[in-house]
């Protein structure tokens, strides 16, 4: 397996989980999510402990789930509250696994590994998603590719010129040097593009057409997220790669929760610090992001298929792939530690 298990993974957006059960496979395990009467989220293995019918086919009753097959009532801790026959003693030994859950940054996070190791304080830091002066929204896509291919893609700032030529691509991107840094398991890929004409999106965000400095800072956050600090600032503001808060700034939020070895759940969005009360702009950005990410997904799903079709060939690493290569090394190292090989 290529998954780090003892970590928090995004299972759903907050709005996806309501009274009706939601089924989602994470790191090879199928989980059912639902909300109790008080609004808190429950996560269980999506299998009735009686005959293994998915619990997600059942219905919520109070804080419990009623299996659709024989009517076993399963509590939020995974143990039965009622057995199929009304006169049968409830056997608490027949139960299904429950998972620790945290709701934060508008996401439902599930701990997929050893439950006694789950620490809510170790949820990845997505601070722009719930900070004052910022607004955040996004979406979800199911993608038929290894989550690590998506990380490669997001830690690669050169592909924008070609894959996104009609949207966010800009020729100046290829002319600006890239810097890669590694700090523990955190990998950062940075690019500063000085004194350029802003592309349409950033010109509209700035609400004027003036020469700007543009930046892109991709940060890999293990186990499976890449957050990209982006924006522009008028050149007279004298911003820098280290300090760039005077212009218009956003964070592209990307988390690729593994489903299987060759598929993942893609949770994406954008947090921004400009025109935060403009709900129309929020919806337009969401639609624009969806169109851009569909361009990526077309490439990644075809790449995954080509990998399967060419088992005698290997992925090559060039200098432009340094960000993704370092992120993969971090993932491999963490998996080795978890498996007791280091």
pLDDT digits (tens, 9 = 90+) for 287-338: 988 988 888 899 999 999 999 999 999 998 887 788 889 999 999 999 999 8
Residues contacting residue 197 through CB under 8 Å, at least 6 positions apart: 203, 209, 211, 212
* Span of 20-34, 109-123, 153-167 with lowest mean pLDDT: 153-167
| Per-residue confidence (pLDDT) for residue 94, from 0 to 100 | 86
Q: Record the pTM.
A: 0.92
Is the CB of residue 174 less than 8 Å from the CB of residue 184? no
Q: Tell me how far apart the alpha carbons of residues 306 and 333 are, in angstroms, rounded to a whole number.
A: 27
Percent of the chain whose pLDDT exceeds 90? 75
| Per-residue confidence (pLDDT) for residue 227, from 0 to 100 | 97
| Per-residue confidence (pLDDT) for residue 199, from 0 to 100 | 83
| Per-residue confidence (pLDDT) for residue 159, from 0 to 100 | 56
Q: At what angle do helices 147-154 and 322-338 cross, to 10 degrees?
A: 140
Considering only residues 159 and 65, tell me which one the structure prediction assigns the higher pLDDT. 65
Considering only residues 57 and 174, tell me which one the structure prediction assigns the higher pLDDT. 57
Taking Cα atoms as reference points, which of 83, 87, 85 lies closest to residue 73? 83
Query: How far, in Å, are 22, 96, 126, 192, 217 from residue 173 at the CA level?
Result: 41, 51, 26, 9, 13
Is the CB of residue 327 less than 8 Å from the CB of residue 187? yes
- Tell me: pLDDT of 170 over 60: no
- 93-120 per-position pLDDT tens digit: 888 999 999 999 999 999 999 999 999 9
Give φ, ψ of 124 to 5 degrees: -50, 145
* Span of 13-27, 101-115, 187-201, 300-314 with lowest mean pLDDT: 187-201
Extents of the domains making up the chain = 8-122, 127-338
- Tell me: pLDDT of 164 over 50: no
Task: Write the CATH number of the domain with boundaries 8-122.
Answer: 2.102.10.10
- Tell me: pLDDT of 166 over 80: no
Average pLDDT over residues 15-24: 95
- Tell me: pLDDT of 210 over 80: yes
| Per-residue confidence (pLDDT) for residue 174, from 0 to 100 | 61
* Span of 151-155, 201-205, 275-279 with lowest mean pLDDT: 201-205
Other Cβ atoms less than 10 A from the Cβ of 40: the count is 11
DSSP state of 203: H
Task: Write the CATH number of the domain with boundaries 127-338.
Answer: 3.90.380.10
Q: Tell me how far apart the alpha carbons of residues 334 and 323 are, in angstroms, rounded to a whole number.
A: 17
Is the CB of residue 107 less than 8 Å from the CB of residue 267? yes
Query: How far, in Å, are 113, 197, 249, 252 from residue 139 at the CA level?
Result: 26, 30, 20, 12
Is the CB of residue 101 less than 8 Å from the CB of residue 42? yes
Percent of the chain whose pLDDT exceeds 70? 93
Say whether 311 sits in a helix, a strand or coil. coil
Say whether 330 sits in a helix, a strand or coil. helix
Report, in this order, helix, strand and coil percent for the chain, each rounded to 5: 25, 35, 40
């Amino acid at each position: 397996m290529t998954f780090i298990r003892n970590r928090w993974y995004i299972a759903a957006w907050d709005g996806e989980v309501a009274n009706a059960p939601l089924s989602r496979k994470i790191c090879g395990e199928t989980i059912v999510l639902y909300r109790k009467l008080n609004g808190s989220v429950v996560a269980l293995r999506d299998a009735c402990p009686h005959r293994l019918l998915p619990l997600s086919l059942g219905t919520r009753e109070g804080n419990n789930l009623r299996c659709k097959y024989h009517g076993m009532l399963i509590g939020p801790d995974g143990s039965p509250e009622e057995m199929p026959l009304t006169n049968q003693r409830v056997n608490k030994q027949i139960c299904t696994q429950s998972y620790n859950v945290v709701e934060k940054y508008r996401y439902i996070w599930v701990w997929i590994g050893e439950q006694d190791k789950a620490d809510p304080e170790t949820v990845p830091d997505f601070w722009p998603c719930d900070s004052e002066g910022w607004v955040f929204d996004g979406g979800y896509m199911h993608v038929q590719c290894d989550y690590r291919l998506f990380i490669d893609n997001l830690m690669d700032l050169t592909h924008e010129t070609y894959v996104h030529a009609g949207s966010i691509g800009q020729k100046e991107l290829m002319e600006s040097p890239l810097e890669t840094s590694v700090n523990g398991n955190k990998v950062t890929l940075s690019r500063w593009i000085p004194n350029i004409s802003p592309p349409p999106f950033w010109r509209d965000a700035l609400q004027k057409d003036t020469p700007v400095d543009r930046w892109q800072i991709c940060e890999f956050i293990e186990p499976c997220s890449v957050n990209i600090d982006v924006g522009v600032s008028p050149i007279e503001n004298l911003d820098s790669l280290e300090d760039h808060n005077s212009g218009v700034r956003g964070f592209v939020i990307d988390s690729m929760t593994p489903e299987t070895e060759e598929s993942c759940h893609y949770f994406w969005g954008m947090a921004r610090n400009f025109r935060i009360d403009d709900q129309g702009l929020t919806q337009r950005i969401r639609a624009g992001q969806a169109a851009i990410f569909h361009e990526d997904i077309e490439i990644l799903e075809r790449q995954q298929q080509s990998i399967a079709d060419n088992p005698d060939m290997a992925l090559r690493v060039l200098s432009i792939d340094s960000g993704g290569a370092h992120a993969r090394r971090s993932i491999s190292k963490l998996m080795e530690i978890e498996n007791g090989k280091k």
